[in-house]
Chains A and B, each alone.
Chain A
Amino acid sequence: MLNKTERQKEQILRMSGVNPLKCMRCGKCSGTCPSYDEMEYHPHQFVYMVETGDIETLRNSDSIYKCLSCFACVDRCPRGVEPAKIVEAVRLTVIREKGANHLTANEIPALLDDETPQQLLMSAMRKYSK
C-alpha cells in the first residue's frame, strides 16, 4: 500500500506526465521564469520536491497560484522535463479537492478585449478550468 505522500506523488506524476528523474538540475527553468520573485518555491524546486515527496509544502504554498503558466520553462528545459506541467498538477490536486471551477469556456468571450493578451486567458483556462 502506498502512503499518502506516495499516492500524491503518483497522482501528480500521472496527471503531469512528468518524470522528475530526467532533471539534471541545471536551473534553466528558474532562470527563465518571469514569476520567479513572486514565488516562494521555484520551478526547479517543484520538480525536486515532488521527486523527494515534499508535496504538502508545495500544496500549502502560494507559489502554485503565482505560476503564470507561460510554459517558458517547458520550452527551454534542455532535458524535456516540463516543470510547468508539474506545477499545474500540484495546483490541480488542490483545486480539485475544493471542487470549484473558476473559469469556464463560456465566460471567455465576455473577458476578451484589445488590452488582454489571449495567452493570459489561455493560461487562466489552464489554471482554473480543469
Chain B
Amino acid sequence: MQRIGVFVCHCGTNIAGTIDVKAVAEALKNEPGVVFSTDYQYMCSQAGQDIIKNAIAEHKLTGIVVCSCSPRMHENTFRKTAAAAGLNSYMVEIANIREQCSWVHKEMPVGTEKAIILGKAAVAKVNLNAPLTPGESPVTKRALVIGGGIAGIQTALDIADAGFPVDIVETKPTIGGKMAQLDKTFPTLDCAACILTPKMVEVAQHENIRIFSYSEVSEIKGFVGNFDVTIKRRARYVKEDLCTGCGACTEKCPQKKVPNEFNLGMDNRRAIYIPFAQAVPKVATIDADYCTMLKTGKCGVCSKVCTAGAIDYQAKDEFVEEKYGAIVAATGFNPISMDKFDEYAYSQSKDVITSLEFERLTNAAGPTAGKLLRPSDGEHPHTIVFVQCVGSRCAACAEKGKEYCSKICCMYTAKHAMLTRDKYPDTDVYVFYIDVRTPGKAFDEFYRRAVEEYGVHYIKGMVGKVSPEGNKLKVQASDLIAGKQLHIDADLVVLAAAIEPDKSARPLATMLTASMDTNDFFTEAHPKLRPVESPTAGVFLSGTCQGPKDIPETVSQAGAAASKVIGLLAKDKLTGNPCVAHSDENMCNGCSTCGNVCPYGAITYEDKEFRMPDRTTKMRRIAVVNEAVCQGCGCCTVACMSGAMDLKGFMNKQIMAEVDAICK
C-alpha cells in the first residue's frame, strides 16, 4: 500500500478564487492510501516545495499528488522536489486544477467538485505507480549531413568548427547545390559564386569534414546517438586521390554531345567532366551512360591523356559503413517540371525558359558567357516577359502544380528584371504577378527599386497563353488594374517555376522514419518552437527540405540545426524518457500491428524460445521495444490486440483506475 501525500495549491487566486482549496484537501484525505493532505498559497515556491519535502520525510510518503497547474508548467519542478527528498521522480502525479478546472469554471461549488474528482483520479493513479529509472545510451560523436548545398555546407562547417567530425554525402560529383548555379543573390546582388565557393573550399580543407561526393545514403539503422549508416559511393571511374583536376581529360574526350545538367541542358559537356571550374572536390567523373569506353570498350582517350594515372575503367560502386550520433537532412529542392504547362509553350519554344535557366544565361560561367541571348537564335532579346507563380499557389491539380507559395520567386524575378534593365536598358521588361510578396529585410525596397529606378513594368494579372509565331512569342495576358487584355510580342518568356523537394527526400524520410507533409517537405517537431528538429530523435532539418526558403533563411536554419546537433554530440550519454512502451512477451503474439503504427520505428521483432508446460520448447515471434528510440506516444498500446503492449507510467490499469475514480 502506498503512503500518499496530497498538496493543493492556491496559485494565489488563480485556483483559490474559484475552488475551495481547503475543501479539496479535506475531501482527498479520505481517499485510499492518502496519509497526509494540505494546501498552500504557492506550491511551486521554495516554501511550498519545502512543505512537500518535509512531509515526505515526516510521513514516510511513497507517492505524492500535487493539485496545481498543468503538468507542462511544473511537473518537472515537483519531480525534482521529490527527488531531492529521496522519492523517485515518477511517484509524482499532477492533478491539473487550474487550466482544466478553475480557469474554465465560474461557480465555486462546480469547480470544487471537479477539483476533488481530478484529485481522486490522480490519487488512484499514484496508488499503481512504480518507480521508474531512465535508461542511458552512449553518443557517437560524429554527424552526418545529407546534401551538400548551401544548407548542408553551413551545417557541416558549424558542427566541424565546434570540434566534431562531420561527413557530407552529396549525390552530385561536387558540393555547391543550387546556389552554385545562381548568378547574383538578392537583395544585395553579391555574386553567388563569390560568396559560396570560399565556403566550399573551407569545407574541403576542414580537418573535421569528409566529403562523400557522387554518393548516396543506402541504409540507416539505429537511433539517436547511435545511427549505423551505409553510404554508397558510386563508381566515378576516376581515382579521387590521384586526380589533380587539371581538366586535360575533359578537353580531349571525343564524346562531346552530352547535355550539360549544370547549365540545365542549354549546352553540352563531355562524357568525362568536372561540373564547373570551382567544383569541390575538383575531380573528374566519367558519365557511364555516355562513355564510349565503358559502353563499347573502344576509346580510352582520357586514360591516355591523364598524366596522374587516375582513370580506372574497372571501378565499382563501393559501400562505406559509418556510425553517427546525429543526422541532418539537407536534401534541397528542384524547380518543378513545366511539361504540364502547355499554355506557356515551354516545350514548343526554346525561348520560353525557367528562371533557373535564366540564371545560367546571365551567369558569366554559363553557356553564353553571361551575355543574355535567346537560346533559339542567339539574338539579343528586346522584350522579355516574366511570369510569376507558374505552378505555385496552384490548387486545381496536384499533378500540375503545388498549392503552396514557393516564396523565393517574387524576389528572384525582381532581381532578374532589375539586372536585365541595368545591363540592357534597351530591353522592355514585363513582370506579370498575382501578388508581390516581399517580406524580408530590404526586400520590398529592392522590388520597388526595380519599378522606380529601373522601369520594370509590373502588371497585376496573369499570362493566359504564349504562342510562338515566327521568331516572336505572342503573349496574351490580363491587366487587371487597367481592365484590359494585353497582347505582347515577346522575344523571351521566363517562367518562375514552383519549387518542390528533391525526389531523394521521400526515400530518405522512410529510412530515417522521419515524417513528411503531403508535399514531401520534412515535418518539424514543432512548427514554431522546434523548427529544425524532426520529430524523430537525432534527426535534424536544414534548408529547403523543410519548406521553401531563400539563402539568408537557409543559412540561419542551417546554423540552428548545427547548434542542435552540437548540443546532442556534446553529451557523453543520453538520458532517455522512462515512460516508454514495453511488451509483455508472454502475451505478445508477434502480429506486427504495433510495429506498423509506431511513428519512430522503435519496435522490432525477434524469435524467442519459450518453455512450455510439458517441458517442450517453442519458438515464438515477439515484439521488442527499443527504449532509446521510443518516445512514449502510446500508439502501440492502443493498437495492440492482445494487450501485451503497455506504456510505463501510463499503464492501461493506471488509466482505468483514473477513469474509475472519476466515474465513481
Residue positions of A touching B, CB distance < 8 A: 22, 24-33, 36-37, 42, 44, 72, 75-80
Closest residue of A by beta carbon distance from B480? A27
A80 touches B396 (CB 8 A): yes
Chain B residues whose C-beta falls within 8 Å of the C-beta of A22 in the assembled complex: 395
Q: Tell me how far the C-beta of A130 lies from the nearest C-beta in chain B, rounded to whole angstroms.
A: 24
Closest residue of B by beta carbon distance from A75? B343
CA distance A25 to B483 in the complex (A): 13
Number of A-B residue pairs, CB cutoff 8 Å, is 71
B397 touches A44 (CB 8 A): no
CA distance A31 to B434 in the complex (A): 12
B389 touches A31 (CB 8 A): no
Quick one: which of B458-484 are within 8 Å of A by CB?
460-465, 476-478, 480, 483
Q: 14 extra interchain contacts, Cβ-Cβ under 8 A, other than A25-B434, A72-B464?
A: A27-B460, A28-B464, A31-B464, A32-B476, A33-B485, A37-B485, A44-B480, A72-B465, A76-B465, A78-B393, A78-B394, A78-B401, A79-B395, A80-B396
Q: Given that A32-B465, A76-B343 are contacting pairs, would A27 and B478 also be in contact in the complex, using a CB cutoff of 8 Å?
A: yes
Chain A residues whose C-beta falls within 8 Å of the C-beta of B393 in the assembled complex: 24, 26, 78-79
B395 touches A30 (CB 8 A): no
Question: Which of A24, A25, A33, A37 contacts B464, CB < 8 Å?
Answer: A33
Interface class of chain A by DSSP: helix
CA distance A26 to B477 in the complex (A): 11
B396 touches A26 (CB 8 A): no
Question: Which of B394, B396, B463 contacts A31, CB < 8 Å?
Answer: B463
B478 touches A44 (CB 8 A): yes
Question: Which of A28, A72, A79 contacts B463, CB < 8 Å?
Answer: A28
Closest residue of A by beta carbon distance from B401? A78
Question: Which of A24, A27, A76 contacts B461, CB < 8 Å?
Answer: A27
Q: Tell me how far the C-beta of A113 lies from the nearest C-beta in chain B, rounded to whole angstroms.
A: 27
Closest residue of A by beta carbon distance from B465? A32
- Give the 4 A-B residue pairs with the shortest CB-CB distance, closest first: A32-B464, A31-B464, A80-B396, A28-B462
Closest residue of A by beta carbon distance from B483? A42
A78 touches B464 (CB 8 A): no
A80 touches B464 (CB 8 A): no
Chain B residues whose C-beta falls within 8 Å of the C-beta of A27 in the assembled complex: 434, 460-462, 478, 480
CA distance A44 to B425 in the complex (A): 34
CA distance A24 to B389 in the complex (A): 12
Quick one: which of B363-403 are within 8 Å of A by CB?
389, 393-397, 401
Q: Given that A22-B395, A42-B478, A44-B480 are contacting pairs, would A78 and B485 also be in contact in the complex, using a CB cutoff of 8 Å?
A: no
Chain A residues whose C-beta falls within 8 Å of the C-beta of B485 in the assembled complex: 30-31, 33, 36-37, 42
Chain A residues whose C-beta falls within 8 Å of the C-beta of B462 in the assembled complex: 26-28, 31
Closest residue of A by beta carbon distance from B475? A31
Quick one: which of B308-330 are within 8 Å of A by CB?
none
A26 touches B395 (CB 8 A): no
CA distance A28 to B477 in the complex (A): 7
Q: Tell me how far the C-beta of A76 lies from the nearest C-beta in chain B, rounded to whole angstroms.
A: 6
Closest residue of B by beta carbon distance from A28? B462
Closest residue of B by beta carbon distance from A35? B485
CA distance A25 to B481 in the complex (A): 11
Chain B residues whose C-beta falls within 8 Å of the C-beta of A76 in the assembled complex: 343, 464-465
CA distance A31 to B389 in the complex (A): 14
Q: Given that A31-B485, A32-B476 are contacting pairs, would A26 and B464 also be in contact in the complex, using a CB cutoff of 8 Å?
A: no
CA distance A78 to B434 in the complex (A): 11
A25 touches B480 (CB 8 A): yes
Closest residue of B by beta carbon distance from A78? B394
Q: Supply 7 A–B pairs (Cβ within 8 Å), ascending by A.
A: A27-B478, A30-B464, A31-B464, A32-B343, A36-B485, A42-B483, A80-B396
Q: Tell me how far the C-beta of A80 lies from the nearest C-beta in chain B, rounded to whole angstroms.
A: 4
Closest residue of B by beta carbon distance from A45? B483
A80 touches B397 (CB 8 A): yes
CA distance A29 to B396 in the complex (A): 13
Chain A residues whose C-beta falls within 8 Å of the C-beta of B460 in the assembled complex: 27
B480 touches A28 (CB 8 A): no
Chain A residues whose C-beta falls within 8 Å of the C-beta of B465 in the assembled complex: 31-32, 72, 76
B480 touches A30 (CB 8 A): yes
CA distance A105 to B476 in the complex (A): 35
Closest residue of B by beta carbon distance from A32? B464
CA distance A26 to B391 in the complex (A): 13
Q: Which of A30, A42, A72, A78 has the most CB of B within 10 A?
A: A78
CA distance A79 to B402 in the complex (A): 10
Q: Tell me how far the C-beta of A24 lies from the nearest C-beta in chain B, rounded to whole angstroms.
A: 6
CA distance A75 to B401 in the complex (A): 13
B461 touches A31 (CB 8 A): yes
Chain B residues whose C-beta falls within 8 Å of the C-beta of A25 in the assembled complex: 434, 480
Question: Which of A37, A42, A77 contacts B396, CB < 8 Å?
Answer: A77
Chain B residues whose C-beta falls within 8 Å of the C-beta of A44 in the assembled complex: 478, 480
Q: Tell me how far the C-beta of A32 lies from the nearest C-beta in chain B, rounded to whole angstroms.
A: 3
CA distance A29 to B389 in the complex (A): 14
Chain A residues whose C-beta falls within 8 Å of the C-beta of B434 in the assembled complex: 24-27
CA distance A77 to B393 in the complex (A): 11
CA distance A23 to B465 in the complex (A): 19
Chain A residues whose C-beta falls within 8 Å of the C-beta of B476 in the assembled complex: 31-32
Q: Tell me how far the C-beta of B184 lies from the nearest C-beta in chain A, rounded to whole angstroms.
A: 28
Chain B residues whose C-beta falls within 8 Å of the C-beta of A79 in the assembled complex: 393-396
CA distance A77 to B460 in the complex (A): 16
